[in-house]
Amino acid sequence: MAKILVVDDAAFMRMRASKLLTDNGYEVIEAENGLDAVEKYKAERPDLVIMDITMPVMDGIEAVKAIKSYDPDAIIIMCSALGQQAMVINAVRAGAKDFIVKPFQPDRILATVKKFLA
Amino acid sequence: MKVEFINPFVTAAYKVLEQEAKTSVRRGELSIEKTAVTSEDVTILIGIVGGVRGMVLYGMKEKTAKAIASAMLNQQVLLFDEMAESALAEMGNIISGLATIDLEKAGYICQLSPPTVVYGRNTMISTVKIARLIVPVHTDHGTITIHVALSETGKG
């Protein structure tokens, strides 16, 4: 069973994403900010990360850079309300593989996860 | 302030409310006010800085807030707890985030503050010198009033 790390400071979004993924047979771990995500990534070595951008302590872009420097093969998908082009480019430059703009369509999340875990 | 500034927020509200709160949406009449907002039961505030700066407010009755949170969480919200608050704050964040995509296309790149939720009716909230564009958005759960108070910074 593939393990997915869901990173979002909003408890509501963590719950939504976790429920969707566990209902579809994935194991889910959660982190509520970028620093928490980096620590959990190292400890749990998830197969894929779904990452918000605007978060306290450490934002999602910094967290992507930190995770990619620890594990260049990390698969990280951004999921943010900030879909401005400049932000998408920043995220991809940092090492994100894809960018999903909120409100996310459950099918889009599942299709993206499947694509990268195939 | 340009009247066009409110359209990205109304368009985004339609999309987010239809999808996340599973409701039909209908907009009311646009109005402009220069005096302070008199708050409804629940108000979500989001600050905007960058090419435009100011504040966006989403005001609603407690009943509406609970109904929207219930729809988003897929479970009845009786007490407005931390999870309901998170859902509602996220709704404001996602609407505003989507709106910034259209603002960027119009030449205004901007950033958002994290959402703040104000509880309590009849609080006066002043956007100081920035006038507010107001559009009520009617849903099956009640009305959400969107107030947009933005000014151009001149840097584009």
ipTM over 0.90: no
- pLDDT at position A118 is 84
d(C-alpha B153, C-alpha B108), whole Å: 9
**Partner B contacted by A101 (CB < 8 A):** yes
pLDDT, averaged across chain B: 94
Residues of chain A with Cβ-Cβ distance to B52 below 8 Å are none
Domain enclosing residue B135, as ranges = 3-152
* Mean pLDDT of all residues in B67-76: 95
Identity of the residue numbered B62:
E
In chain B, % of residues over pLDDT 90: 92
Return the structure tokens found at A99.
């960018």
Domain total of chain B = 1
- Min Cα distance A101 → chain B (Å) is 8
Give the domain CATH number at B84: 3.40.1550.10
The model's pLDDT over A59-104, given as tens digits with 9 standing for 90+, comes to: 999 999 999 999 999 999 999 998 888 899 999 999 999 999 999 8
Q: Are B10 and B30 in contact (CB under 8 A)?
A: no
- Banded pLDDT at B3 (limits 50, 70, 90): confident
Tell me, rounded to whole angstroms, the distance of Cα A87 from its chain centroid. Answer: 15
Mutate to test the interface with B, among A18, A102, A105 (most CBs of B within 10 A): A102
* Mean pLDDT of all residues in B113-125: 93
Closest residue by Cα to residue B118 from B40, B38, B36, B42: B42
Ramachandran assignment for B79, one of left (phi > 0), alpha (psi -120 to 50 degrees), beta (any other):
beta
- A12:B86 CB<8 A: yes
Strand spans (E) along chain A: 3-7, 27-31, 48-51, 76-80, 98-101
0.90 exceeded by pTM: yes
CATH match for A3-117 among 3.40.50.11890, 3.20.20.140, 3.40.50.2300, 3.90.78.10: 3.40.50.2300
The model's pLDDT over A27-48, given as tens digits with 9 standing for 90+, comes to: 999 999 999 999 999 999 999 9
- Min Cα distance B58 → chain A (Å) is 17
B144 membership: H or E segment, kind and range:
strand B142-152
User: Does B156 score more than 50 pLDDT?
Assistant: no
Tell me whether strands A76-80 and A48-51 are parallel, antiparallel or unpaired: parallel
